[in-house]
Chains A and B, each alone.
Chain A
Amino acid sequence: MKSTEIYSSATHSWIVLGRDSQKSESIIDTNQYLIKSADEAIILDPGGIELFSPMLASLLKHVKLENITALFASHQDPDIISSLGLWDKAVPHATLYAPWLWEGFIRHFGIDNIHYQPIKDEGGEVKIAKATLKFIPAHYLHSSGNFNVYDPKAKILMSGDIGAALEKGEPPMFVEDFASHIKYMEYFHRRWMPSNRAKNNWISRVRELEVDMMAPQHGRIFKGDMVHEFLEWFARLDVGSACE
C-alpha cells in the first residue's frame, strides 16, 4: 500500500494511504488518512477487513502502534470501518469517533476494547496532541448519519464519499484536470447521494470554510482551484438518480 504525505507543519502532518497494488480487483479502492501530532495519531476511515494487513504494515512506517490513540469513521459502511474488530485487538486503548446514529450498527463489527465516542448530529471536535480537528456534519451525503473532518490549520477537508471517484488502476494522487475527472465522479454522486437539499446545505457550509485540499475516501484529492470547481459542479448536479 502506498503512503503519501500531503501536509506537514511543525504541529502535525497528514498522510494518505491507499492504492494497494495487492488489493483484489473486486473490492473498491479506498483512501485512508493518518493524522499524527507529537505522540498521538488518528486514522480517518480505517477501511475494510481486507485492507487491515497492508494498512497496518503501511502505518507502522509512519507511527508507533501505541501512538494510535483514535479512529474516526465517517459512517457505517464496510469499506469505512469493517476492520474495527481487528483494530479493537491491535489498538485496544484507542477511541473511535463515529456518528451516534450508527453506534448500535457499527458495534456489529466487533468492539470489546475500543471506546466508542458518539458524535452528535451537530458535529464536534477532537484534539490529537497539537492538532484540532472539527467534525463537520454531512448527513445524507451519502449516509444518513455522516461526518467530514476539517483541519482549520492545514485547511484540509476530509470529505468522505463526497468528491469520490471510481477510477480503475492506480490513478495519480491529485486531480489534474477537472473536466476530464467528471466522468469518474458523476454516476457515483448522482446514484449514491440521495438528497439535493442535503447537498446544497453542505455546499453552503463548506463555502464558508477555508479549504486548500478536499480529500475524499475514494479516488483523487482536490487541491486549490479544483476544490472550488468541485463545489460549482456539485451544486449543479441533480442527485438521487435512482428515483427518476
Chain B
Amino acid sequence: MTNKSKVTLAIENFVRVANIVSNLDKILQEAKNLSLTAKNARVVALRAGDSAYGFKPITNFIDEFSELTIKTTKNISLLSSNLFAIALAVVRYSEFQQRLNTAFEITNHRDIAQLQHQGNIDLLRTMKQLESAITHLESYFEDILKQMRSAEYIAVTSRVEASNAGEFSESLQSVSNFITSAAKKIKQAINDNLKEMHLIRGALR
C-alpha cells in the first residue's frame, strides 16, 4: 500500500465518520418523535378508558425505550466529536507521512528518517484510537438495535390492543403503525452506520 493511498483512505474514512454522524441526527429525530407519540398515545388511551385498558402499559414501554434511545444517541453524539478529531488526526498524520516520503526522495537525510519513524508511530497510534472509538460506538448501536427489536414487538402487541379500543381503535392503530415505521427507519440508519464502520475497520487494517 502506498502512502498516497493511505492519505486517500484516511480522507475516505473521514467522510464515513461524517456519514455516521449525519445518521445519528436521523436516529435522534426518530427517537424524539417516538417519545412524542408515546405521550399522545397515553392521552388517547386515557380518553378511551376501559376499552384501551391494555394500551396504557404499552405507552409506558414506548416512552421508556424512546427515552433510552434518545439517551444512547446523545451519548453517541458526545463520542462523535471525538471521533471526528481522531479521524482528522489520521488524515493529518497520513499527509505528513506522504510529504516526508517526498522530502526523503529529495534528500535521504537522517532527520527526515527520524521524523518518518516518529510520524509512523503517531499514525499507528491514532489509527488504533480510531478503531477503538469505532468499537465503542458499535456497542452503543447494538444497544439501540435491541431497543428497536423491543419496539417492533410492542408495535405488534399494541396493534392487537388497538383493535379492542372501539372508537379509539383507529387513532391507536396509527400509533402502532408509527412505532413500526420509526423502528424501521432507526434500524436502517444503524445498519447504514454499521456498514460504514465495517468499511472503516477494513481500511484501517
Contact = CB atoms under 8 A, between A and B. Distances in A.
B99 A61 contact: no
B95 interface: yes
Nearest to A110: B92
Contacts of B93: 89
Given A85-B92, A89-B96, A61 B107 contact: yes
Binding site of B, secondary structure by majority: helix, strand, loop or mixed? helix
Interface in A86-123: 86, 89-90, 110
Binding site of A, secondary structure by majority: helix, strand, loop or mixed? helix
B115 A53 contact: no
A89 B115 CA distance: 9
B111 A64 contact: yes
B119 interface: yes
Contacts of B1: none
Closest 8 CB pairs of A and B: A53-B102, A57-B106, A53-B103, A65-B111, A57-B107, A56-B103, A57-B103, A60-B109
Given A86-B96, A89-B115, A90-B115, 9 more contacts: A53-B100, A54-B103, A56-B112, A57-B109, A58-B106, A61-B107, A65-B111, A85-B92, A85-B95
30 contacts: A49-B99, A52-B99, A53-B99, A53-B100, A53-B102, A54-B103, A54-B106, A56-B99, A56-B103, A56-B112, A57-B103, A57-B106, A57-B109, A57-B112, A58-B106, A60-B107, A60-B109, A60-B112, A61-B107, A65-B111, A85-B92, A85-B95, A85-B96, A86-B95, A86-B96, A86-B99, A89-B93, A89-B122, A90-B96, A90-B115
